[in-house]
Amino acid sequence: MLATQDVYSPSPNDLLRERLIQRQRVIDLQQVAFARDAAEFAAGNAWDEDGSVSAIDWLRFNCHMNAGAAANAIAVGESLEQLPESHQAVVDGEIGFAHLAVMARTAEALDDRFDEKLLVEKAKENSPGKFFYICHHARHAADPKRYAAEQSEQVEQRRLKLSTWMDGSLLISGQLDPVGGAAVLTALEPLARKSGADDDRCLEQRNADALVELASGGGSQAQIQVTSSIETLLALAGSPAAEMEFSLPVSSKTIERLACDSSIARVLLNSESQVIDVGRSKRVVSEPGRRALAARDGHCRWTECDRPPSRSAAHHLVHWIHGGTSDLDNLILLCHRHHRMVHEGGWQIVRSDDGPIVTIPPTVTFGAPARGPD
Ligand SMILES: [Zn+2]
Ligand SMILES: [Zn+2]
């Protein structure tokens, strides 16, 4: 008799699973209610009365939250009325508050191009992390120029602080934009792997060793892995962002730059997502071509810039995607910063017949001011 009952009763693990799901659902609904109040609070003056700098600041101290969670709550509360289907999906337990936070940020970024019906289906099928990625692609597809402008703004936040302590140790802290960060991770990751079963260094120690090894010239020639469609490279409206190892989806302009010098292991997809061009191809500047370019230009060709060839890219004056060749007369050396100014910054380069180049600043800026903090 007991044995028969055992067969039909849920196991302790089944009960545990069910309990976790139900508890999180209660938390999600509470978070939605919290978000609604947080938005009302942010719109009022109660935080100001308390002498806080902002509503986010008040929430950080009084509700024991980090700034990101407080900003997400306010963003969700502010957009809840525009997200009826997403709200319902949380009530029904089909998506979580984490999805809703991504949805609110996407609605805010896309404005009248936001398609809730489409995205709520994606939210139901994917984890919040994967959904975050999908929404970045949707943002790129809706407005590639604005997406590129937002990534350029992230670059402006870059900083690296190096301070030497009394005992000579070097303290490093800072922030890199997603693409710059991905380049660093790509270079460090192979060097930071465990070197054998008896390697008992923790990850932070292996990262530190990898950085020193890289600085000492022992770095491997790791190539950044990128997946992009031709449409993305051409920045056509409706194209998804490119994908890059260790990074969030990347704008067309940045991929155009990376593909220009072929410093990436290139994977291009056609519209049916079939791989049409993998890895290095004839478009890559050959080693003799690179040496000839270094000999001719000597350093970055931007006015008054003297970064050496080893720190410069072979920029195609006419990009290969538009039919430019990798012959010497279509190439000039540009350092990392100036190469970025041409591709992402909208600067133009004109070369006169007798050699010197003329740089023309961008006349049009795209995108809206950043809203923060996230
Ligand atoms: Zn270039
Ligand atoms: Zn330069």
Taking alpha carbons only, the member of 319, 335, 218 closest to residue 262 is 319
Residue 83 and residue 100 in contact, taking contact as beta carbons nearer than 8 Å: yes
From the CA of 318, how far away is ligand 2's center (Å)? 19
Q: How far is the CA of 329 from the centre of ligand 2 (A)?
A: 19
Kindly state the average pLDDT of the residues 236-245.
84
User: What is the pLDDT averaged over residues 112-140?
Assistant: 94
| Per-residue model confidence (pLDDT) at position 20 | 97
In this structure, what token pair is assigned to residue 173?
Answer: 């802290």
Most confident of 94-108, 186-200, 214-228: 94-108
13: pLDDT confidence band, cut at 50, 70 and 90?
very high
Cα 20 to Cα 343: distance, rounded to the nearest angstrom: 49
- In DSSP terms, 265 is beta-bridged to 225
Cα-to-centroid distance, 359 and ligand 1 (Å): 14
Mean pLDDT of 63-88: 95
CB atoms within 10 A of CB 219: 15
Judged on CB neighbours under 10 Å (0-12, 13-18, 19+), 173 is: exposed
How many C-beta atoms lie closer than 10 Å to residue 119's C-beta?
23
- At residue 223, the pLDDT reads 64
**Is residue 369 pLDDT above 60, yes or no?**
no
Q: How far does the centroid of ligand 2 lie from the alpha carbon of residue 352, in Å?
A: 18
Residue 63 CA, ligand 2 centroid: distance in Å? 48
> Which is nearest to 342 in space by CA: 302, 305, 309?
302
**Which of the two residues, 298 and 234, has the higher pLDDT score?**
298
Which residue ranges form the domains of the chain, and what is each CATH number? 15-142 (no CATH), 159-215 (no CATH), 285-362 (1.10.30)
Q: What protein residues have CB closer than 5 angstroms to ion ligand 1?
A: 260, 315
**Cα(222) to centroid of ligand 2, in Å?**
23
Selected residue with higher pLDDT from 42 and 111: 42
Sheet of 275-278: strand order equals: 243-244, 224-229, 264-269, 275-278
How crowded is residue 137: how many other Cβ atoms within 10 Å of its Cβ? 18
Greater confidence (13 vs 327) lies with: 13
Q: What is the mean pLDDT of residues 331-352?
A: 86
**245 C-alpha to ligand 2 centroid (Å):** 27
How would residue 373 be classed by pLDDT, with cut points 50, 70 and 90?
Answer: very low
Mean pLDDT across the chain: 84
At 307, is the pLDDT very low, low, confident or very high (cuts 50, 70, 90)?
confident
Q: Are 68 and 106 in contact (CB under 8 A)?
A: no
Written as six digits, the tokens of 122 are 């994606």
pLDDT class of 374 with cuts at 50, 70, 90: very low
CA 236 to CA 287: how far, in whole Å?
Answer: 33
Give the pairing type, strands 275-278 and 264-269: antiparallel
